[in-house]
Homo-oligomer: A and B are copies of this chain.
Amino acid sequence: AGKSERKPAVRSVDFPVSVVLPAGGTGERTGLQTPKQFCSFLGRPLISYTIQAFERVSWIQCIVVVVARENVDLMTDIVQRFQHRKVRVVPGGSTRHRSICNGVLALGEGEAEEESPAADGPKVVIIHDAVRPFVEEEFLYKIAAAAKEHGAAGAIRPLVSTVIATTSEGYLDHSLERAKYRASEMPQGFTYDVIYQAYQRCTESDFEFGTECLHLALQYCGTNAKLIQGPPTLWKVTYKRDLAAAESIIKETLSQSACIITGGSAHAATLADGLQKAAGALHMELDVIPDLMGENTGYLLKEWNFIQISVNRCSLSEVEDLLKDLEAANRALLHPPVIIWVHLSASDEPSISGTVAEPAAIMDLASAAKLRNVLLYGIQVHQSKDTERWERSVLKVAEITSALIRERSPALVGQLLQA
């Protein structure tokens, strides 16, 4: 998510595009109670990540999410809570095709209430899975453009395993030549006319047992879909292990950079400089700024991680200000930002009053921040005139910072760690 936001905008489309997102799965393959699309990652359900992947694309107009009737209220709550703007929630049917068909019809109906239905309706419909959250704008563009040109288009991937045909007794009959076949993935795109007609003409048996929209377009509209190889990120969250993989991708995306705020102090700038050198080896980019004023207010809108250095002060007032700024920017809506307060004491000896007073203060502040979806941690580091010892401390601050940012553990908020 964060990665895409930093890329330059890709080409736009000059025709109306809308999306149907079937989200009726029951999640039986993960072995979990909650269907995968409603499983939470850093406090937000997977379906909301997928919606966001479409919502941030300027040329996509409407996203119809089709859910089982018993999940309509849940889904409506998710849309409100995460302030999704382009979404309509529609109840699904008893099979995948019936649900997608409901979504396609809803796109038509919605427009029929407007003044000039034909002109306003979507030219192209993209169909995607709720459980493929990492689809990127560039690939959506390719599918939309190819769908407009060819009537239908679909993502494909090379086969990972050999595909074999079995005899009815469970023996090998023959194996397919891998190079001739592909796995059909999502997203797929269709002109509205093709997907609408395909569902008008197909049989009850198609509705009941079919799974492949490209097949319906071919059989009932004579449309050979254009196939486009997609990136591995199109993969579908299917098994329990995929939940861990998805969480790891989300966390990695949020951990690529951090912003160090020095407060203008020379001591803090020296520490920030050391952290920048160490952070390269830890695969994280660090920007150093004196404060979040002027041009630097931009960091509030794009950065997920803040390292606030305080020198010789036990006060958390800078952190309190940062929390207020993040709240004003509505920054914690989609992901939890991380704040690491680094307390740099210039004396070699730990101050006794300091170590006793701070833990309670940062714990209280972190508990309050957590309710606002911000993760606050503390690190205490003592400046040393012994160069070797100082370098060891700086490296330790970098390692702890990197671990806290990558793991984003709610259980460890408010801790004051020693570097």
Enumerate chain B residues within 8 angstroms of A416, measured Cβ to Cβ: 418
Tell whether A214 is near chain B: CB-to-CB under 8 Å. yes
- Contacts A214-B175, A352-B352 given; indicate if A182 touches B156 (C-beta within 8 A): no
Report the separation of the CA atoms of residues A154 and B184 in the bound assembly, to the nearest whole angstrom. 25
Pair B225/A172 contact, Cβ less than 8 Å: yes
Q: Nearest chain B CB to A161's CB is how many angstroms away?
A: 4
Task: Kindly identify, within residues 204 to 242 of chain A, every residue whose CB is under 8 Å from any CB belonging to chain B.
Answer: 211-212, 214-215, 218, 224-228, 232, 235-236, 238-242
A257 to B175 Cα, complex, angstroms: 44
Instruction: Assess whether B170 is in contact with A226, with CB atoms less than 8 Å apart.
Output: yes
Interface residue A301 (Cβ < 8 Å from any Cβ of B): no
Flag A373-406 by CB within 8 Å of B: 1 or 0 each: 0000000000000000000000000011011000
Contacts of A29 in B (CB 8 A): 232
A350 to B356, CA, bound (A): 8
**Distance of A185 Cα from B162 Cα, bound (Å):** 8
Q: Indicate with 1 or 0, residue by residue over A173-189, a CB within 8 angstroms of chain B CB atoms.
A: 11110101111110000
Instruction: Answer whether A409 and B407 are a contact pair too, CB < 8 Å, given A164-B181, A236-B160.
Output: yes
Q: How far is the CA of A171 from the CA of B416 in the complex (A)?
A: 59
Partner of A163 from B181, B226, B228, B407 at Cβ < 8 Å: B181
The docked-state distance in angstroms from the alpha carbon of A356 to that of B418 is 12
Our pick among B161, B211, B238, B249 for the contact of A184 (Cβ within 8 Å) is B161
A240 to B414, CA, bound (A): 32
- Among residues of B, the one whose C-beta sits closest to the C-beta of A229 is B170
> A241 contacts which chain B residues (CB < 8 A)?
232, 235, 242, 245-246, 248-249
Asked whether A411 is an interface residue with its Cβ less than 8 Å from the other chain, the reply is yes
Query: How many protomers of this protein does the assembly include?
Result: 2
What's the least CB distance linking A236 to chain B, in Å? 7
A167 within 8 A of B: yes
Cβ of B182 and Cβ of A163 under 8 Å apart? yes
Within 8 A of B (CB), among A22-54: 29
Q: Indicate whether A117 reaches chain B with its CB closer than 8 angstroms.
A: no
Pair A227/B166 contact, Cβ less than 8 Å = yes
Would you give the shortest CB distance from A252 to chain B, in whole angstroms? Answer: 8
A409: chain B residues at CB < 8 Å are 403, 407
- Among residues of B, the one whose C-beta sits closest to the C-beta of A233 is B241
Residues of B within 8 A of A407 (CB): 407, 409
Contacts of A166 in B (CB 8 A): 156, 180-182, 227
A284 to B162, CA, bound (A): 39
Report yes or no: A162 in contact with B235, Cβ–Cβ below 8 A.
no
* Contacting residues, chain B, for A173 (C-beta < 8 A): 224
> Is A68 on the interface with B (CB-CB < 8 A)?
no
Q: How many angstroms from the CA of A393 to the CA of B185 in the assembled complex?
A: 49
Whether, in the assembled complex, A2 has its beta carbon less than 8 Å from a beta carbon of chain B, the answer is no
Q: Establish whether residues A171 and B411, one from each chain, have CB atoms under 8 Å apart when the complex forms.
A: no
Q: Is A264 an interface residue (CB 8 A)?
A: no
B180–A165 CB distance below 8 A: yes
A355 at the interface (CB under 8 A from B): yes
User: Which residues from B are CB-within-8-Å of A359?
Assistant: 418
Query: B residues within 8 A CB of A61?
Result: none
C-alpha gap A242/B241 in the complex (Å): 8
**Given contacts A232-B239, A355-B356, A164 and B156 within 8 Å (CB-CB):** yes
Complex Cα–Cα for A175 and B228 (A): 15
19 contacts between A and B (CB under 8 A): A29-B232, A150-B171, A157-B161, A161-B185, A162-B184, A164-B182, A166-B181, A171-B224, A171-B226, A172-B225, A173-B224, A175-B184, A176-B181, A178-B211, A355-B356, A399-B411, A402-B411, A403-B412, A415-B418
Known contacts A163-B184, A232-B241, A415-B417, then 9 further A-B pairs from the complex at CB < 8 Å, ordered by chain A residue: A154-B172, A160-B236, A161-B236, A166-B180, A170-B226, A171-B227, A350-B356, A355-B355, A400-B411
